[in-house]
Amino acid sequence: MKVTEPMRTTSQSATRAAGPIRVGQDGFTMVEIALSIAIVAFAMVAIIGIMPTGFEAQRLNREETIINQDGAYLMETIRSGALGLDSLTNFVDSIVITNNRGTLRSMGVSENVNASGSAIPLVNGHFIVGMLSTPHLELLGRDRQTGSPFFITNEVAAMMRSISGNAGERFLDPQYKENAFSYLLSTRIVSHQSSPTNSFGSNSGLAISTNRFATAANISSNLYDLQLTFRWPVTKVQVQGARNEPEIQYRVGKNEKIFRTLISGRLLKTNGYPFLPLSDRRNSLPLYYFDNQSYAPPAL
């Protein structure tokens, strides 16, 4: 016998299709929402507090990477006496050489090619490499009576902007050079000094030159210690000068790194010719270059 299904109304069919009705279900209270926001805010404060430390570590790492790359490049440039590096004019603002007499020997400013006095215009790599290769001790002459040498002590300091690094941070455009990463470079070149090798006779007391002494004299004439000291960062500060005129001074940061190497070869001495006329008095300021393919005779 077939049993017929009873008729359902439209409302009953819709209720079954929608599923069972849940009664008595509540949402989050205001207290729970406030506690959740407090927990998230506490975590965000901790994260934001760490962010400046992370940014500072990232900045120092980036600057030290630039210093390492520029240090290797400049060290090889000085060691090989490289010529034709005129692109250095885009990164060297000034080079100042002072000596133990307290006088300014030479200064070059790339923005002012018509500098007066003893200033050398940094318009090509010839002047830049020649000034950076200035030896720390320079022989001026010898006393006529005793034969004792006269030396002056040179201190070389160059204000530079980063050569390597991100192209967007180098700012080659003069309008934005102030925003580039800058550092102070100090170069020191001294002849390599070995231990004393003289021997004295027991009777005469006179010094006797040995083969070791001749070797040491040859080394001191053809082997040099090169030390590059980088200090950063450098910021420019405008102050009021002696004549109430604006004057630019530099402030150097506390970061420092030193590179050292040995250079074998002859240290040649020249001047600004042919880039400066022979009659130009700035030709009296010497420029130096290393020649690794020739050697100077030993100073016996």
Tell me the mean pLDDT in the region 176-202.
75
Tell me the mean pLDDT in the region 119-143.
87
DSSP string across the chain? -PPPPPP--HHHHHHHHH-PPP-S-----HHHHHHHHHHHHHHHHHHHHHHHHHHHHHHHHHHHHHHHHHHHHHHHHHHHT----GGGGGTEEEEEEE-TT--EEEEEETT-TT--TTPPP--SHHHHHHHHT--SEEEEEE-TTT--EEEEE-EEEEEEE-SSS-HHHH--SGGGGGGS-EEEEEEEEEE-------EE-TTT--EE--HHHHHHHHHHHHEEEEEEEEEEEEEEEEEE-TTS-EEEEEEEEEEEEEEEEEEESEEEEE-STTTS-TT-GGGGS-EEEEETT--PPP--
Least confident of 196-205, 216-225, 244-253: 196-205
pLDDT, position 113: 38
- Residue 80 or 216, more confident: 80
Reported as a pLDDT band with limits 50, 70 and 90, residue 15 is low
pLDDT, position 175: 62
Q: Per-residue pLDDT tens for 223-234? A: 999 999 999 999
